[in-house]
Amino acid sequence: MISFILVAPHGDEIIDPKDEKSSLLNKAMREAASLVKADKYIVITPHNIRIDDHMAVILTQYAEGKRGKIKRKYLCDRGLAYEIYERAKGSGLPVVGVNFGALEGKESKIALDWGSSIPLYFLKRRRIVLLTPARGVKREILRKFGVVIGEVLRDHRKRVGVIVSADHAHTHDPKGPYGYSEYAAVYDSTIVDIFKSERFEDLMKIDDKVISEAKPDSYWQLLIMLGILESSYNKYSVKLMEYQVPSYFGMMVALLS
């Protein structure tokens, strides 16, 4: 069963905040962490294996990495990972199972990316499953992948927390690495409005030009989240939300339970 869905930023700023906006995000993550309970986590991250036209399910035994002061090693829940992979594959979705090093054991280990380690930093350590989206597939495919994940979790006896690792438009600041676009504010305000209104189906309606110009690092993960929500027997609502733009990209904490 799904115990919660947490849309979490993965900017380093929230780990050791130096300004008020980052501090608010840090506070929101800590508050969210205090409210949730889970036996394991699924992390949908854009910064692990990146395959343009296939979603990836990480099948390694471990994930380990270091990011700033964060150094973590997690045991992966291979049983749940294989179940998601096989169900998605059987549904005809473009998905690959990814291992590294050895088939199993201590050498079966993949890098723990910052899209995973930063959100996980705030949560109690549990087994994890790492999933990555694909930007080169149609929106409906990503949504269907989420539906499959949700169907698997409906039958799962343990409590699973779903972490949607997502930073939003990256073109807020002309001095930033991606420059400035007026569409940054359009994209982020649309995302904020969708979460406030809980009209998550409107994610499918965001214009391609807005996405292209805003350069978000969230849209594809959110479409997977949409499918998870649609396949759930339960109604999830937003219990906590904080949005800020501490630098050139937007960040949001949103807890659904």
- Tokens representing 75 are 């045991």
Q: pTM, whole model, 2 decimals?
A: 0.97
Where does the pLDDT of residue 69 fall: very low under 50, low under 70, confident under 90, or very high at 90 and above? confident
Give, in degrees to the nearest 5, the angle at Cα 170 between 166 and 175. 145
Given the structure tokens 């296939």, which residue do they identify?
54
Distance of CA 89 to the CA centre of its chain: 21
Question: pLDDT of 70-94, one tens digit each?
Answer: 999 999 999 999 999 999 999 999 9
Residue 148's pLDDT is what?
98
122-165 residue pLDDT tens: 999 999 999 999 999 999 999 999 999 999 999 899 999 999 99
pLDDT of 155 reads 87
* Ordered structural domains, the chain, with CATH: 2-158+218-256 (3.40.830.10)
C-beta of residue 28 within 8 angstroms of C-beta of residue 242:
yes
Residues 197-217 have pLDDT tens digits of 999 999 999 999 999 999 999
Q: Which two tokens stand for residue 149?
A: 């994940």
- For residue 3, give every residue at least 6 positions away whose Cβ sits within 8 Å of its Cβ, in sequence order, or none: 36, 37, 38, 159, 160, 161, 257
